[in-house]
Structures are given as structure tokens and as C-alpha cells.
Structure 1
Amino acid sequence: MARLPDVDPTGEVAERVRARRGGSLTPLDRMLLHSEPLADGWNTLLGAVRSRFELAADLRELAICRIAVLNDADYEWRAHAPLLVAAGFPDDQLDALRNGGDLAVLTSEQRCVVAYTDAMTRGLRVPDALFAEVRELLGERATVELTATVAAYNMVSRFLVALEIGGDEH
């Protein structure tokens, strides 16, 4: 059960969020709508991260799922693991990612994204050698987009966990 009650979502901001979501609101949206300026900005930012970046969907969802695991954000995992699978991520890799298994089952590109996500999430600072590897692998734009994705979804997971959003949603 979330720490705060849902709001009755009405108005222009709620409609913009609904439009991005395909007509419905998530428990996260209902919590964000306690503050319309927050919900509006969040909707714009996360809409860009999810649908306007050139970063490959599988790498985006891999980073998001890794954050969910590291930050114990089960709701985030449940929302994004199916998207990662839909992007072509095999079950054995998903299981290793979720349950702390051997990440050697990942490709070298995937391991690089996981290492970058880990560095940003656990310690904030990305070692120069790892940054250079990501930049070489992805190029400058996708490196910026991966960095923004990791930053944004760390925000999402921390919001979800602190307010206990979706803990009872299965």
C-alpha cells in the first residue's frame, strides 16, 4: 500500500499523462499528480527518455531493469522486465540480471551497459576507462542518452521505493 492516497486525477496535466500512457494512469502517475508541476515535468522528461531517444530499446530497458534490481524497486522491475523481453532479451539473461546470476551470459555490449549503470547507481562516479568504453561502443549521443536514462530511472526508483508505490500491485 502506498504511503499516500491516490488523487482524483482531473485537469490538463492528468490528460497529458493519460495521453502518453495510452489512456490510463499508473499508480506512479496517481502519486505524481499530488503535484501537477511535478507530474507535468516528469511526464515530459520520461516521455522523451522512453520514446524520443535513439538509444536502442534493449539497452534502455536493460539499464532500467538493472536499476530496479539495484534499488529494490519491484514495481519498476514488473513494469520494465516485459519490455526488456519484448526487445529480445532472453529468459536466461533476464534471470541472471534479476537474481544476481553470472552476468557472463550477457553480451559484451550488455555487460558494458550494466557496468555503466552500476557505476552511476552505486557510486555516482563513472571511471574514465568505463566511460571511454561506453563512448566507443555507443557514440556521443547514445552515451548522453544512456546517462540520462540511468539518471532518470534512478529518480523513478527512488520515488517509487520511498513512497511504497505499487508494492501491492501484481
Structure 2
Amino acid sequence: MARLAETDGTGEIAERIRERRGGTLRPLDRMLLHSPQLADGWNSLLGAVRQRIALPADIRELVVLRIAVLNRAAYEWTAHEPEARRAGLDDTQLAAVRTENAAEHPELDARHRRVIAYTDAMTRDVHVPEGLFDALRAYFSDRELVELTATVAAYNMVSRFLVALDVQPSEP
């Protein structure tokens, strides 16, 4: 059970969030709506990360799931596993993401392994070694590198919020 009660999800900001979400609010949204202005900014930021950037969907979802593993954010895994599958990640790749040394897992291609190594460095150490960053240049444009970095940062924020407030996914 979450540490705070969910809000009722009314008002103009809640409606904007519902619109982005396809008509429903999730437990995360109902928690954020304790602070409507924060929820509004969050919705704008995550809306951009989810829907308005050039970063490929498989990369975005790989990042989200890896952060879910590293930060022990079960809600995030539950929410994004279906998205990851729609983006083309399969059972063996998803299992690899859950391993300690995912950045070396043979079931993942070189691009995915480098993205995981980058996500791990940003999440665990904050500092990213120069060689690791340079290795990403073979796979991503400058714009995509900025978007990859913002995606890792944003989903670390999301997972830490969820875990700290013990927000759980809705029952199916």
C-alpha cells in the first residue's frame, strides 16, 4: 500500500494527464496530483520523453526496464514490460535486462549492451566514463544522445518517486 492516499484525480491538470494517458489516471498520477503544479510539469516532461523524441522505442523501453531493475521499482517494470514487447524486445532480451551483468549479456546486441552500460553508469555512479560515452557515438546522433541521457535521468526520477512512496501498480 502506498504511503499516501491517492487523490481523486479531478481538475484541469488531471484532465490533461488523462488525455496523454488515453483517458485514465494511473496510481503514479494520483500520487503526483497531491501537488497539481508538480504533476503538470511532470506530465509535460514525461510526455515529451515518451511521445515527442527521436530516440527509438526499443532503446527507451530498454532504459526504463533497466532502471526498474537497478532501483527495484516493480511498478515501473509492470508498467513498461508490455511497451518493451511492443517495441520489439523479446523474452530472452527481457531476461537479460534483469541480470547483474546485463551490459555483457550475449542475448543483447552491441547497441543494447552499450545503452545498458550507460544506464548503469548514470544510475549507479552518476559519472559516465569518457570511453563509454564515446562508444555510444557509433549508434546515436547528438540529438539522440541528449534524448538518451534525458530518458535515463527522467526514469531515475520516476522510479525513485515510486519506490520512496511505495506506489504499487493497479490491479488488472
With over 3 angstroms needed to count, the CA separation of the structure-2 counterparts of 1:84 and 1:167, relative to structure 1, is: closer
Q: Which residue of 1 aligns with 2:148?
A: 146
Residue matched to 2:122: 120
Q: Deviations over 1:69-128 (max 9, x none)?
A: 000000000011111111111111111212447622100000010000000000001100
Amino acid at match of 1:10: T
On the 8 A contact 2:9/2:33 being kept in 1, the answer is yes
Is the contact between residue 2 and residue 167 of structure 1 (CA under 8 Å) also seen in structure 2?
Answer: no
2:99 aligned with 1:82: no
Distance across 2 between alignment mates of 1:35 and 1:121: 26
Q: What residue is the counterpart of 1:4 in the other structure?
A: 4
Structure 1 gap ranges (5+): none
Q: Which has the higher helix share?
A: 1
Corresponding residue number in structure 2 for 1:13: 13
Report the CA distance shift for 1:122/1:101 in structure 2 as closer, same or farther (over 3 A). Answer: closer
Residues 94 and 163 (structure 1), Cα distance of their counterparts in 2 relative to 1, 3 Å cut:
same
Alpha-carbon separation, structure 2, partners of 1:126 and 1:96: 22
TM-score, normalised to structure 2, is 0.95
CA contact (8 A) 1:75 1:169 kept: no
Partner of 1:72: 72
Task: Determine what percentage of the aligned residue pairs are the same residue.
Answer: 61
Q: Which runs of 5+ in 2 are unaligned?
A: none
- Report the counterpart of residue 27 of structure 1 in structure 2: 27
**What one-letter code is carried by the residue in structure 1 that aligns with 2:45?**
L
